[in-house]
Structures are given as structure tokens and as C-alpha cells.
A and B are shown apart, each in its own frame.
Chain A
Amino acid sequence: MSLDVAAIRRDFPIFAAQPPPFHYLDSAATAQICRPAAEALLRFETEARANVKRGVYRLADAATRAFEEARARVARLLGGVDPREVVFTSGTTLGLNLAAHTLAPRLGPGRRVLVSVLEHHSNLVPWQLVCARTGAELVPIPATGDGRLDQAALEARLDRRTAVVAVTHASNVTGAVTDVARVAAATRAVGAVLVVDGAQRIPHGPVDVRALGCDLYAFSGHKMFGATGAGVLWGRGELLAELPPFLGGGEMIARVTFAASRFADPPHRFEAGTPPIGPVLALGAAAAWMTALDWEAVQAHERALTRRLLDGLAALPEVRVLGPADPEARIGVVAFTLEPHHPHDVCQLLDVRGVCTRGGHHCAQPLMAHFGVEASVRASLALYNDETDVDALLEGLAFVRSQLG
């Protein structure tokens, strides 16, 4: 069954609101919000707003129930995990910092953290900080020439000194999808913890985190058709139970005295303070919307678009694609250079044609260095894109060349 893209687009208010031409190819930075998520956010903030977890009046009780229902909806998107394994955060960056901070007691001199060079800075810098603090060694895992995780190199570096392995599920530059199950098996064999940045992968379909075998999995609501301001750190229940608190404050305690505090069980142990309730409800609505989709059809549609984009770029001699050529090995996040032009100049002129792309180092400077470039143009596809978006980009690149020579 092929995907009814027009029906999908009707679920996104932006496409009716923006005047044509509007070709949104920056979903890797932030995806558009789907109608159920937008409505959940607005309804809570205007008609049903109350704080969660404490109030006993009906409005507060309803807010708490809606909040926990959002947790259950996310749990279903993650393969039907226990909702108590779903920790709400402000986004992927906070989730990964939470992971680094709470795993810090396992680090120290003689211990190692393996981080791939594919990582977004948010899955590198927190580990740099925690290694500097604890004396652990940060060890890079190299990438292949076409921008995939070098699995053999990872396995060669794994030994009993390894405390943590941190990898992305899908690169925000090359689009390459990591074989997390294989990484997880190797990581488990040396007794290390596997932390996965799922921010780019989750908008492209439900993820069965238990089947992947990872320990912690972070992602953001705004990249999976929810609102900005809320994200998730999923953690294997046994691990979460062992981890110390991250931030201190209300909501995360069992009992507080001046002498000491006892902390709540997961997930609330990691959710200090008033959470971003509206964005969490939007995230839950987006998760439910996603769960109801025919993902076989969505992924076939995305693969076809990715192939069209890669084929179109391959026909341009000035273009160099940074990532795997095979659409089966990647998601539709496609970074490229257009020689001799600077990515910002390219993106600025694409905007004239209504094509929204991203230029820069994409918060992945070590990966840019791996490719020997400082920056690139990135077009990123989502399920609401169609052939006209891809063709507008390709035609736009011809326009750029005509303007800049």
C-alpha cells in the first residue's frame, strides 16, 4: 500500500499556513508539528492547565493522568516497554547529559568512554566534560570513508576498561544508520553501558529499544512531530534503578530532611521540578499519531525520495555527498558540498526558491574534519515530503550556480 502523502500533509498545519513555494527540507533540525500534537499543547495550556503530581483537585488530577498517559504512549512507540523506563527531559541534549552525569561514578582513571566521530556535539561534549572530571579516557571510534560507524574498529577498541560506549542510531550528517544490535552485543560482552542518541532515527519509525539491546536511548519531541521543549531518555529498568539522581529539586524525592534526602524511584528520580507539561503532552500525542501509521509504507516512501535525491545529486559534478550512496543503509538526511560555494551562500539562495535547508557544521565538527570540510549543505527528508520538494532542491542548485557562477 503506497503512502497517501497528501493525507499526511493535511495533518501538518504548516503546509496550509505557508505560502508556496514552501519546500521544508530541514526536518533533521526540527520537524514540523503534527495537528494532534499542536492541539494537545494548545488544549492543555488554554483549557486544562494545572501542575502535575501534587494537586488533588480535579484539574490537577486530570493533568497528572494526561502526563502519565503521554508516558505510556511513548512506551508503546518504543516497542511496548514499561512506562517507568521512560524519563521525560527537555530534549536529547539533556537526556545525554543526564546519562553522562549519572554514569560518572562508574568512571575514573583506567576507565574508558568510547564515542564515535559521527556524533552530534551533544553526544560528545558531555562525555568530554565527564572524562575531564573523573580522569577517564575518551576514545574516538572512527568512521568509514562513506560516513558509517566503523564497526570493526569499535570492536577492536572494546575491552574490560570500557565503561561506556556512546553512538548515534542515525547520523545527523551522513544519515547512516548504525547497527545498534551488533554494537550492543559487543558492548555487553565487556560489561559496558551502551548509550544511543536516537534523535535522528526516531522520526523515521518506532524503535524497539529492548530488541536493540541498548541501555539508554535519548531523543527529542520536536524532531518527531511534537513540540519543542520535551524529550525522552529511555533506560533499561535495571540500570535506571542503579543510577543516582541528576538534578535535585521537587518531584524527585521520597523524603527530605536537612540531614539527608531519599530519592524517588525512576522515572521521577530524574524529573526534578515542574516538567514541560504541555510539550510532554504534545510528545505523547505525536507518539500516538506515529504509532498508528503504516510504517512499511512510510519507509518505502522515504527510501524512494532519498534515492531520487541521491540520484539527482550524483548527476551534478560539483556535488560531493557526505554519506552512504545506498538508500537502504541510511535515512533521508543528506549532507553535501557544492564546489566551490560556501554552504551558507547555497542555503541563502535556495531560500529564494522556497527551499529550506541547513548549512554549517551541523554540530558535528569532528565528522566534518573526517571528511576534510568545514561545513556542508544538508537536506533532510521526513514523511511529509514529496517529489516536488526533492525536485525543487535540485532545480534550486542550478539556480545557485547561475547566481554565483
Chain B
Amino acid sequence: MSADLYHEAILAEARRSEGAGRLDRPDAVVERDNPLCGDRIRIEARIEEGRVRVLRHTTRGCLLTRAAASLLAREAPGRTPAELGRLADDLARWLAGGGAPPAPSLALFAPVRTVASRHDCVLLPFRAAAGLATPGDDGVPPRAR
């Protein structure tokens, strides 16, 4: 049932909104829209030796997108943008029905797996983060990397 999507862990994660905000002089910036509803995320990252050290986001979206952005902020540090791209792919595959959750923290999205129309809500922040590998593809010029 759809109400299961809104279990306490997802609501709490959306409210926590880990990493919400901006960075002073980020190394990389990406913006991405969900074309279905106009939701938008802006991600700023500080990158050292090719790995994300800090990630901040400004998210305008539904509870699922906001919870996913919060989890992204926790999962991103220490990963390369390419690894975040693979995480996004693995998350998409798991939501579509294959394998195990790509990170233990993401298991809270299990009820979303049966609601295909909401997969993009969860994936938006992770797909945006994958764009850190090629910042600027959404029209936002990269800062010095």
C-alpha cells in the first residue's frame, strides 16, 4: 500500500536533511531537474584527490527526494564521482527489483520498489551526484577542481 512509503525512517530522514546548504567555493557544482514534476537539486562538493570530501545540497522536492538527498550527503564522502555514478546505477537496479540494496542505509527505500512511478524521486539526488564527474552538463559551470 502506498502509505507504506511514508514510514517513520523515511519521514525522519527527510526531516533530518543531512547536508542541506551551500559550500563556500565548491570544487564542483551540478543541478538536475526531475522533468516530471519540476523538482530540482543543486549539489555542491569539495573534492580532494579525486574523492568527495564534503557534499552539500539544496533540494526542492518530495519527501522521497529529500530523504534520498540526505542519505546521499552521508554516503558521498570518500567516494569518487565515478563511484557515485555506479551507486546510482546500482540503486536504480535494486529499485527495479534486482539484488541487494547498494548500501545498508538505502534499505529504507524498500517500499518504493513496488511503486515504479516514484523511483525517479529517489534517484534524482544520486544521478545528480554522478554528474559531479562531468560538472557543467546541466549548464552549471564547474568551479576550479
Bound pair: A and B?
yes
- Please give the residue numbers on chain A whose beta carbons come within 8 Å of chain B beta carbons, in ascending order: 342-345, 348-349, 351-352, 359-361, 365, 368, 374-375, 403-404
Q: How many A-B residue pairs have CB under 8 A?
A: 48
Cβ distance B105 to chain A, nearest Cβ, rounded Å = 21
- Please give the residue numbers on chain B whose beta carbons come within 8 Å of chain A beta carbons, in ascending order: 1-3, 5-6, 11, 36-40, 60-64, 115, 118, 121
Docked-complex contact A352 and B2, CB < 8 angstroms: yes
Inter-chain CA distance A343–B34, complex, in Å, is: 14
Which residues from chain B contact A361 at a C-beta distance below 8 Å?
37-38
**Residue on A nearest B40 in the bound complex, by CB:** A374
Which residues from chain B contact A375 at a C-beta distance below 8 Å?
37-39
Docked-complex contact B63 and A360, CB < 8 angstroms: no
Which residues from chain A contact B63 at a C-beta distance below 8 Å?
342, 345, 404
Extra A-B contacts (18), CB below 8 Å, given A374-B60, A404-B6: A342-B39, A343-B37, A344-B37, A344-B62, A344-B118, A344-B121, A345-B64, A348-B115, A348-B118, A349-B3, A352-B2, A368-B38, A374-B38, A374-B39, A374-B40, A375-B38, A375-B39, A403-B6
Kindly list the 8 A-B residue pairs having the minimum CB-CB distance in the complex, ordered from nearest.
A342-B62, A360-B37, A344-B62, A374-B38, A361-B38, A352-B3, A348-B2, A351-B2
Cβ distance B126 to chain A, nearest Cβ, rounded Å = 18
Among A345, A365, A368, A403, the residue within 8 A (CB) of B62 is A345
Interface of A is mostly: helix
Cβ distance B122 to chain A, nearest Cβ, rounded Å = 12
**Residue on A nearest B61 in the bound complex, by CB:** A342
**Residue on A nearest B35 in the bound complex, by CB:** A361
Inter-chain CA distance A375–B61, complex, in Å, is: 10
Which residues from chain B contact A349 at a C-beta distance below 8 Å?
2-3, 6
Which residues from chain B contact A342 at a C-beta distance below 8 Å?
39, 61-63
Which residues from chain A contact B118 at a C-beta distance below 8 Å?
344, 348
**Residue on B nearest A365 in the bound complex, by CB:** B38
Cβ contacts A to B, 21 pairs, < 8 Å: A342-B63, A343-B37, A343-B62, A344-B37, A344-B64, A345-B6, A345-B63, A345-B64, A348-B118, A349-B6, A352-B1, A352-B2, A359-B37, A361-B38, A365-B38, A374-B37, A374-B40, A374-B60, A375-B37, A375-B39, A403-B6
